Amino acid sequence: MVSCCCKIPIFVFIFLLLLVISSSICAAHSSETGNSQANNQTFRPEEELKKLKLSPDGDMIDCVLLRHQPAFDHPKLKGKKPLDPPERPNGHNRKGMAAEDFQMWMMSGESCPEGTIPIRRTTEEDMLRASSVASFGKKPTRLVRRDSSSDGHEHAVGYVSGDEYYGAKANINVWAPRVSNQYEFSLSQLWVISGSFGDDLNTIEAGWQVSPELYGDYYPRFFTYWTSDAYQATGCYNLLCSGFVQTNNRIAIGAAISPTSSYGGGQFDISLLVWK
């Protein structure tokens, strides 16, 4: 779904998000037309803006031309063109896989055209919730630990190490936990790392998270993250900084997931695949 074309020297991965839930809940809003549809059409911003609506999770989703996404603001990607997604690993082709319609923003039945990607619009309220402009979209470095004894940061980790790996896959059950306040969060993720937890940590991360500080609500949202220097200067959530290239026109990184699992009720999960 998305490829990491950032400063990570060891990993060049493609993210592929596949839906394992049976429901199809969809909706989208366009602010730019795609290459395939734009050739014979005149783009009129005023008319497009009139079509924009809030999705059920309160988001505004813009359909942005591939070459205009934030990734290409990165100095090393200036003037570059998006590449076609590479071949999937053996046994992981599209055929026979479930639909990707698992996010609230697609509920109206619309979608972004080919040649564009859906991007969750950043609002003034999103920026004001951050402790500073520089920290917006980034993880607090104090929370980066792999044990379960850091300051109020409780978590469980299952991991393998000590060999050479070229990818990983995980099926992750999606819940909607209620966190106590704006500064708490809850998540479940696949985490591919190299280096040490010092200055040379490289990570590629994907999963779901409930983070009212980042999103302003309590919906579980699909997210990605990357860093090449232990979260110090590089990397961010989703598409909130340059260096991370998305190619899929059906999945909005940072958008809410629906439906979710319930105790004693239906169980729903997403499948994440990361490969080099």
Residue in 226, 212, 214 with CA at minimum distance from that of residue 176: 212
pLDDT tens, position by position, 227-236: 999 888 889 9
What pLDDT was estimated at residue 52?
A: 54
The pTM score is 0.76
pLDDT in tens, 2-56: 333 333 333 334 343 333 333 333 333 334 444 444 444 444 444 444 445 678 8
The upper half-sphere exposure of residue 80, i.e. CA atoms within 13 Å in the direction of its Cβ, equals 19
Say how far residue 247 (Cα) sits from the centre of its chain: 12
96-122, pLDDT tens digit by residue?
A: 455 567 899 887 777 899 999 999 999
Residue 236's pLDDT is 93
DSSP designation for 266 = -
3-class state of residue 46 by DSSP: helix
pLDDT for position 99 = 56
Q: Tally Cβ neighbours within 10 Å of residue 170.
A: 17
pLDDT per position as a tens digit, 163-189: 888 889 999 999 999 998 888 999 999
